[in-house]
Structure 1
């Protein structure tokens, strides 16, 4: 009896997993359905993953650089006599490349439907994909990586990918920091990059204890999707993680990029170019497209969701830092509310040009800004924002297409960022697709159909540089 039972068990074990029926051949297994969830159980050894992604990296980076070269002129051509606060030259000129056989004035004279049907919308005006859109994740310029490695011995290099835009089109580094509580000091950082190692000696005596604690938390590295201690990371060694001010260095921006955490599928997620935190105290919406209502909400959202692509299961696995709302989140928000815009000596108390200090060109640019250019519709003085969301409906101008793993569709609603200090924060738009202020003026001239002349565009750029 026992032998018979064993023989039966062996027979069952060896039986095929798919059995034919009277209906004929077995049907193939269904294709995997799309999912919003990430794989939690990583079965490939870390060393195998790393070597595979290292091998793929050159082709991925080459593909992105070829795309940038097709879209833009990224040469280092600074504007004469125009610099950021600490002296970094501001890049000038339209860098977006036009389709062959058409000028900017000809393009602006066409209807959106005509541009769409003839496929003449400049490629540099299309949404910009992440350097590796299917993978995504936080990605830092090399100058920031090198500085953090030197000061903290914390490595933000990714083995699978490097940042894509050249340093000369990014904000100056380290950026100055201005505080609403200390306008007499100018740059309170003394030209240093703030890190967990030096913030206390710089700010002890300038801030109250709550604000100092808020700054400490903003500078403390916490686990994140690509930088953590698990086998599912993109750093060679287990990582302590990233800090809020790794992207918003010195409370400004260093141009770091990421993908939004709240859109699926992956191909529809939007690239984010890190915005400045300057002037956060005058803003009423937070997140380029999320419309979060308080900076406290945004601070919690970043740690619980954005750091881990909106996946709480992955966040738990990798070590999410759950901030305490009543103290830690409050402390961080209190410090962020102190960060001020850079000085604008040509503006009066109403945030408009002082006629005695401004040039004729700058004054003409202000008139265009408040009139024909339609800029004031969203960007009202003194801080040049209306604290609302607007949809530019850019999809009027182009057909849906795939670009380097990203599906190019409309941008949807985008919050109105303040324009104070705008020359200090290149590149522009929420995904960094516009390299210079000249590019930005051309983009809005086309999208808003304002039909500015070349002289009017130049005047408008001159005014924006005064803000």
Structure 2
């Protein structure tokens, strides 16, 4: 997959660099809307993919190391909500030579764009194999599903690319709005079809248990199914909703947006948490689906099959019944709560008797100079249920290609909740920001608020309390 179609280039005026990675195993025309059947037998595709894998892996590793400091530097004493994994700290995005964060923040967007000074880590993050795309799971999820169910989520063509330290703790705790007194109801286990009933009987209603069963039932997916263009060695039953949303949170599994073509323009999507979904009125980074029922039903054609209903028909799409099954799935999702935030009062503000001076100072930045609260509204779970376009393309030249992904404008993206945010690395819709410190630097530049280093540090400390 080397070029964008001529019509696309003519419309945008983009010049695209040829992708040099061999594409024998993925014969997808660059201007395709529909994914064609493989031109080669499965055995040949698998052999070619496995031969390419070291090159694919090395190219993505090189990109990540060029963009980020991926060393292990946790925040002292700061753990995720389950208490099993430290939160990584410090700014990890690397600056261009001769530039400081303060000097960069003092430049106009045009100046940064013309001089090519936007840190590469602030740019869209490509899929590990952009021409092929598809769902990619972290090793912990692969191992645990293999152990419990004997189901294989390991692809033969790609591996998960981010170091484990920059992903959520696994398995994450589960908190219920219906039983806040119980704390983590997962008992430290990953919910699967093998253990859900034993863990949840007597805690959930019959309707919720049935919804949970459906969310844990594997169904065919683009890369995990029985057809000859799958990306797993053996025929597969498929994947479940909670393979990505582990314990209703996230394991940082990633995919590509299903609602953009051509393939080179499809941006990476990091799996979002389902915690607090009861307060969300729009779903999907771009699609603005208006209910969790819509999202649950629509995902069977989008996330599962890249938005390609033709491929879905051939591989065995599951259509959950809108009257019976979808409401049960939604009822289960709608009782998933955020982790406790003991320093917050009922209005989402810090209790001065519980917070540190630094955290209180960070709250002032959040609601004041930092302008964070204009979108992340405290009374609505630190989000505003709106879409916003940050217009990041002000800072870089669109049209350049990085590992097969054409750098285009992000466009409007929904506001993500900040409740429990320390549990949800990496950050932004495509996971391009490894830490909260990176996220603060990103928005300091993009919003032009010119925070001092002390204000940035205070803001990060405050975000850890949410």
For 1:183, the equivalent position in structure 2 comes to: 180
SS of equivalent to 2:264: helix
One of 52, 68, 72 as aligned partner of 2:48: 52
For 1:197, the equivalent position in structure 2 comes to: 194
Q: Which runs of 5+ in 1 are unaligned?
A: 1-31
How far off its partner does 1:43 sit? 4.2
Write the deviation string for residues 286-329 of structure 1: whole angstroms up to 9, x where unpaired. 01121111111111111123211111110000110011000111
Question: Is 1:366–2:363 an aligned residue pair?
Answer: yes
Q: Which runs of 5+ in 2 are unaligned?
A: 1-28
Change (3 A) 1:397 1:372: same
How far off its partner does 1:33 sit? 8.4
For 2:73, the equivalent position in structure 1 comes to: 77
The residue correspondences of 1:191-340 to structure 2 (distance < 5 A) are 191-340=188-337
For 2:150, the equivalent position in structure 1 comes to: 153
Give the whole-Å Cα distance in 1 for the aligned partners of 2:132 and 2:145. 24
Write the deviation string for residues 29-80 of structure 1: whole angstroms up to 9, x where unpaired. xxx883311113x342111110011001100110000000000001111110
SS of equivalent to 1:156: coil
Give the whole-Å Cα distance in 1 for the aligned partners of 2:405 and 2:58. 16
Give the whole-Å Cα distance in 2 for the aligned partners of 1:248 and 1:148. 13
Give the TM-score, by structure 1 length.
0.92
For 1:453, the equivalent position in structure 2 comes to: 452
Give the whole-Å Cα distance in 1 for the aligned partners of 2:185 and 2:76. 28
For 1:28, the equivalent position in structure 2 comes to: none
The residue correspondences of 1:91-170 to structure 2 (distance < 5 A) are 91-170=88-167
Write the deviation string for residues 79-106 of structure 1: whole angstroms up to 9, x where unpaired. 1010111221000000000000010000
Give the whole-Å Cα distance in 1 for the aligned partners of 2:177 and 2:462. 24
C-alpha contact 1:305 1:315 (8 A) present in aligned 2: no
Give the TM-score, by structure 2 length.
0.92
C-alpha contact 2:300 2:317 (8 A) present in aligned 1: yes
Please report the RMSD computed on the Cα atoms of aligned residues, expressed in angstroms.
Answer: 0.9
For 2:385, the equivalent position in structure 1 comes to: 387
C-alpha contact 2:156 2:232 (8 A) present in aligned 1: yes
Poorly superposed stretches of 4+, deviation over 6 Å: none
Segment drifting more, 333-342 vs 298-307? 298-307
Give the whole-Å Cα distance in 2 for the aligned partners of 1:310 and 1:357. 47
Segment drifting more, 225-234 vs 301-310? 301-310
For 1:9, the equivalent position in structure 2 comes to: none
C-alpha contact 2:30 2:264 (8 A) present in aligned 1: no
SS of equivalent to 1:81: strand
SS of equivalent to 2:304: helix
Aligned length: 435
How far off its partner does 1:223 sit? 0.2
For 1:399, the equivalent position in structure 2 comes to: 397
Write the deviation string for residues 375-410 of structure 1: whole angstroms up to 9, x where unpaired. 011001131111100000000000021000000111
For 2:411, the equivalent position in structure 1 comes to: 412
Write the deviation string for residues 228-251 of structure 1: whole angstroms up to 9, x where unpaired. 001110000000100000000000
For 2:9, the equivalent position in structure 1 comes to: none
Give the whole-Å Cα distance in 1 for the aligned partners of 2:374 and 2:105. 20
Give the whole-Å Cα distance in 1 for the aligned partners of 2:377 and 2:347. 11
Larger Rg belongs to: 1
Give the whole-Å Cα distance in 1 for the aligned partners of 2:390 and 2:178. 36
C-alpha contact 2:30 2:262 (8 A) present in aligned 1: no
Give the whole-Å Cα distance in 2 for the aligned partners of 1:387 and 1:257. 23
Give the whole-Å Cα distance in 2 for the aligned partners of 1:34 and 1:465. 44
For 2:14, the equivalent position in structure 1 comes to: none
Write the deviation string for residues 332-383 of structure 1: whole angstroms up to 9, x where unpaired. 0010000000000000011110011000110010000000000011001131
One of 59, 63, 79 as aligned partner of 2:59: 63
C-alpha contact 1:180 1:338 (8 A) present in aligned 2: yes
